[in-house]
Amino acid sequence: MCHINTSIKNHAGVFVFALIGMLQMSLTGVLMAQEPDLILFNGKIATVDENMTFVRAMAIKDEAIVAAGKTDEEILKLAGTNTKKLDLKGRTVIPGIIDPHNHATDFRAEDFPEAKGVRVPPSGIRDEVKKGILDALRKRRQEVKPGQWIIINPMGEAGREVLLFEEITRADLDRLAPSNPVMINEAGTGAPSQIMFNSKAIELIEKEFPPFTKFPNTHIKIDGTNLSSLVVKDIILKRRDKEYAESWRKLIISTLATQGITTVGTRIPRTPLNALVLVDRKGEMPIRFAWFFSDGSYYNPEGFYKRFPNLAGAGSRYLWNLGQGEELTESPTTGPCTTLPLRNKELKERDEKAGIDLCFLNNPLIRATIKDQIAYGRGVEYHAAGDKTADLLLEIIEEVQRETGMTDEDIREKRLTFEHLALVRPDHLPKLKKYGIIMSNAPNYFVRNLDASKAANVPQNFGEQYLKWHQPAKSFLDNGITTVIGEIAYGNVFDNLRMYITRRVCFTPTLPEQGKVGVEKCAVQAPEQAVDRISALRMATIWPAFYVLKEKELGSLEVGKWADLLVLDRDYFQVPADEIGQIKVLATILGGKVVYASPDFGPINRTLFKSPDYFGKAVLTD
């Protein structure tokens, strides 16, 4: 018995010892699992949480924030043997900028020369521009093989009118290039607007996008922005996904990351989406990308959205679906669809002569597409630069409610979005609040008010008094309407923020039709609609995170959220408002990894970078 008891005791002791060892190993494993990958310290970190809390230090693990502290010591003590540390040197840190309306699906022109057009210089004489287009077409026809696309880009107002009034016809293009598809696409004074194809090009487009056949020529010729993108990316570069992926990745690394953009949301044609999927699978996404197919009326047959599943929010950490979009509600470059009388007689006569209907929602095909998107999915990026377009979109929502029985709350849950907002009437505000419409402002529309060539120039074409309707951000906030800044990456990000804080805008014409060439013009536009700098920052971070369906993961620097942040060269919260536009990004961090560092940041350890692709001109240390 004694022997048995002794044996039992011995075995019990071994068991207890082993158990203690296992517990110790387990506890060590737990502690190791909590060891941060990176600690940021000695900074002024604006969390942009509900209370606008500031902290000095932050710990990051597996791309997410795991701790934040008011003192360096309480976070630095969490460091393990493998934890990297980054001294912020007292600098200000904010969340990464989210641009919910950014057409970030372009490529480097040098990578695809066949997709680059031949530019025809601007001229004030239409006959000169017409001759320039035809001469460029003849020359290019001799340089390409039969079947290859020919793209000609006449620049300036005269080029726009040559196409708008069809002073060059499809028959002219067919005669000069019978064996090549031809696209003449006006460019130069803003987004491409007017467009023209020859018969061979039309044949290829209709084969790729059958619904295209239902659109009248009066609509097609003023929709150069959308059609040129579809032609280049889904026809000319079709099945070149791998090349597109590499070109796109290099372009984004050298542009958006340097501006502090960490997430974008936008429409995307098929080829770029295929390319982004390839990049995401390799774990090489340089930003986070929320996508949707736009131009649905061109892409999809009637009734498509009734059968297509709602994928909003589905995807990976770096690539997910935003919803379903339709940018064919309006062409702001050609002119906003508005209830206001057009004071500019030349523009009015131009539209009448060309037979243009600026209210695209009068087209039953487009209207039906949007109805289905709202009824069966999430509709985003509806262009509503003009107040009448907003009227028509709100009418469609009410029509969907009557036909489906959807409640106001059902509509609010969809997070529908209106974009550009050049003219928003005060009587719109209650319905925008009622339906939870996210209002996406566009900084370049401030500039358009100083550009004499723009149909969206509010004071020139409709009257100075209507500037109070122009991107009324303060009214949105006062009425509890979610408002964001879209297209913030076009131009200087922080200067675009400054515009909403000061409402002061400057513009220097480069073409005669824009105004006096080389002479800067500045103006303060509806100063009563200015917002404070914290609201402006929220319009570029946490509120667009709601727009892109990731407010639980992005937009603020709180524990549990993804570690996307910017290190700035000066204090956004303290510099004079007029100097906010001078702020520079010293470092951009995406998921706890550096994707951009300015030489002005100072020496930075190369192991902190996502990969050597992001070294750029940074001052590196080992």
What's residue 7's pLDDT?
Answer: 41
Check pLDDT > 90 for residue 362.
Answer: yes
Q: What is the pTM of this model?
A: 0.92
Check pLDDT > 60 for residue 491.
Answer: yes
Q: What residue type is assigned to position 261 of the chain?
A: I
Q: What is the mean pLDDT of residues 194-204?
A: 95
Sign (positive/negative) of CA torsion 469, 472, 477, 483? positive
Which of 248, 297, 303 is closest to 277 using CA atoms? 248
Which of 120, 122, 167, 176 is closest to 144 using CA atoms? 176
Tokens of 544: 């667009």
Among 8-12, 96-100, 514-518, the least confident range: 8-12
Q: What is the mean pLDDT of residues 466-480?
A: 98
Check pLDDT > 50 for residue 25.
Answer: no
Tokens of 446: 């401030």
Which of the four pLDDT bands, split at 50, 70 and 90, describes residue 223? confident
Cβ-based burial of 476 (10 A; exposed 0-12, middle 13-18, buried ≥19):
buried
Q: What is the mean pLDDT of residues 526-551?
A: 98
Q: What is the pLDDT of residues 144-160, one digit of tens each?
A: 999 999 999 998 888 88
Nearest-angstrom CA–CA distance, 251 and 306:
36
Cβ-based burial of 267 (10 A; exposed 0-12, middle 13-18, buried ≥19):
buried
Among 60-69, 203-212, 494-503, 546-555, the least confident range: 203-212
Cβ-based neighbours of 283, under 8 Å, separated by 6 or more = none
Nearest-angstrom CA–CA distance, 260 and 493:
8
Return residue ranges of the chain for CATH 3.20.20.140: 241-547
Q: What is the mean pLDDT of residues 105-116?
A: 90
Which of the four pLDDT bands, split at 50, 70 and 90, describes residue 62? very high
Residue 588 near residue 610 (C-beta atoms within 8 A): no
Residue 462 near residue 343 (C-beta atoms within 8 A): yes
% of the chain surpassing 90 pLDDT: 76
Q: What is the mean pLDDT of residues 454-479?
A: 96
Cβ-based neighbours of 92, under 8 Å, separated by 6 or more = 43, 44, 45, 46, 567, 568, 570, 571, 572, 573
604 or 330, which is more confident? 604
What's residue 615's pLDDT?
Answer: 96
Could you count the other beta carbons within 10 Å of the beta carbon of residue 202? 17
Collapsed DSSP state (helix, strand, coil) of residue 622: coil
CATH topology of domain 241-547: TIM Barrel (3.20.20)
Nearest-angstrom CA–CA distance, 225 and 270:
16
